[in-house]
């Protein structure tokens, strides 16, 4: 018997005129193309985003998280590419369709895990996408039953393994990053609130950054309304700000020698005196005895902050990072009103 690369579902008909199962696969994949295109367009056009509830919807919130991109590319583009590749394989290399849709299923399970376990926010488009991939996987699996040639060992039953491998590959970096962030943060003294809180907000700022100063009232509202969360202050020194390194050294020197309460007070004073920072630092810098040990602690803290920022793709201030249980849930860039970001703290 001659072995071909075409599944037995429609051996003597063209891909577009095959049996019901074949047509159902094409319709589902085509719907996936449309859905991913709409999802990506909703990131750019508010009118389309209204389909999911507008800029305060779960769709908008999920799109603003770091999980909305993989290797710097929107997940909607990855989804669109996957569906287009799937349809192409249906035409020219049907044996590749089940491994591909299995990988897509693993990715969708990962995104569902992110929404349920990390950010606690659900996107309507994402949930529909998950359902579409489930249907496409089921149809494709059924389409391949009885096939005599399969691209992976184990025939049909290797499909779930592909899904598990993809899911694990996507989850592992998230868990490793969370562990590293947890270890680094607990060494610091520049924080306010409860260090045992399940929710942690980390603020990256520069003392000469005008936008950082504008964010300070919103930070005060945050701590007033959520005193039980942990708020960590990280330094991101902008090279063009000549006084910022001095301000950072002074503020952290206060933290390491006089404690957290004095640090919080000093931090507010520096931002309050941003317009006459030189005079302020000239007056107060001499109150700190910068021993070699203290210099080492301050440099270690600042270097760790900058390294953490780079690992998260943070290159501007102010930026807030919200963690749930040591897993990064949200990145908020720029000056955002408390009333808008407070929903991520519930």
Model-level pTM?
A: 0.64
CA dist 173 and 66 (Å) reads 13
Residue among 302, 277, 95, 116 at smallest CA distance from 204:
302
State how far the alpha carbon of 99 is from the alpha carbons of 18, 139, 306, 327, in Å: 21, 13, 40, 30
Q: Tell me the two tokens of residue 287.
A: 């109150």
Domain map (residue ranges) of the chain: 15-174, 186-345
The fold adopted by the segment(s) 186-345 is Glutaredoxin (3.40.30)
Q: Are 15-174 and 186-345 in the same CATH fold? A: no
**8 A C-beta contact, residue 194 and residue 230:** yes
230-275 pLDDT, tens digit per residue, is 999 999 998 889 999 999 999 999 999 999 999 999 999 999 999 9
The fold adopted by the segment(s) 15-174 is de novo design (two linked rop proteins) (1.20.1440)
Q: Report the pLDDT value the prediction gives residue 313, as an integer from 0 to 100.
A: 77
Tell which phi-psi region holds residue 54, choosing left (phi > 0), alpha (psi between -120 and 50) or beta. left
Cα 126 to its chain centre, rounded Å, is: 15
180-218 pLDDT, tens digit per residue, is 555 455 456 799 999 888 899 999 999 999 999 999 999
Q: Using pLDDT thresholds of 50, 70 and 90, give the confidence band for residue 81.
A: very high
The dihedral of CA 7, 12, 16, 22: what is its sign?
A: negative
Q: Tell me the two tokens of residue 188.
A: 């610091």
For residue 288, pLDDT beyond 70: yes
The dihedral of CA 185, 112, 318, 192: what is its sign?
A: negative
Mean pLDDT of 287-312: 90
For residue 35, pLDDT beyond 70: yes
**8 A C-beta contact, residue 202 and residue 321:** yes
For residue 44, pLDDT beyond 90: no
């Amino acid at each position: 018997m001659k072995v071909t690369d075409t599944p037995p579902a429609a051996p003597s008909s063209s891909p577009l005129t095959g049996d019901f199962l074949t047509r159902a696969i094409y319709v589902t994949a085509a719907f996936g193309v449309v859905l991913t295109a709409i999802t990506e367009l909703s990131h750019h056009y508010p009118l389309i985003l209204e389909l999911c509830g507008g800029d305060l919807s779960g769709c908008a919130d999920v799109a603003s998280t770091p999980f909305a991109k993989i290797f710097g590319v929107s997940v909607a583009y990855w989804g669109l590419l996957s569906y287009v590749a799937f349809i192409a394989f249906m035409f020219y290399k049907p044996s590749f369709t089940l491994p591909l849709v299995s990988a897509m299923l693993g990715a969708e399970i990962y995104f569902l895990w992110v929404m349920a376990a990390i950010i606690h926010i659900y996107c309507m488009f994402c949930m529909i996408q998950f359902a579409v991939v489930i249907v496409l996987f089921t149809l494709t699996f059924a389409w391949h039953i009885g096939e005599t040639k399969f691209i992976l060992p184990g025939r049909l039953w290797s499909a779930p393994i592909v899904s598990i491998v993809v899911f694990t590959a996507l989850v592992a970096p998230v868990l490793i990053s969370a562990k590293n962030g947890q270890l680094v943060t607990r060494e610091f003294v520049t924080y306010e609130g409860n260090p045992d809180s399940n929710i942690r907000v980390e603020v990256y700022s520069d003392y000469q950054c005008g936008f950082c100063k504008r964010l300070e009232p919103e930070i005060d509202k945050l701590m007033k309304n959520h005193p039980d969360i942990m708020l960590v202050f990280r330094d991101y020194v902008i090279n063009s700000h000549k006084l910022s390194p001095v301000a950072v050294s002074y503020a952290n020197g206060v933290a390491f020698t006089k404690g957290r309460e004095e640090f919080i007070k000093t931090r507010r004073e520096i931002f309050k005196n941003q317009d006459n920072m030189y005079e302020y630092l000239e007056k107060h810098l001499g109150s700190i005895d910068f021993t070699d040990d203290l210099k080492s602690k301050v440099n270690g803290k600042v270097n760790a902050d900058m390294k953490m920022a780079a690992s998260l793709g943070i290159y501007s201030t102010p930026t807030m990072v919200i963690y749930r249980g040591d897993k990064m849930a949200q990145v908020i860039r720029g000056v955002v009103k408390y009333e808008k970001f407070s929903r991520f703290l519930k």
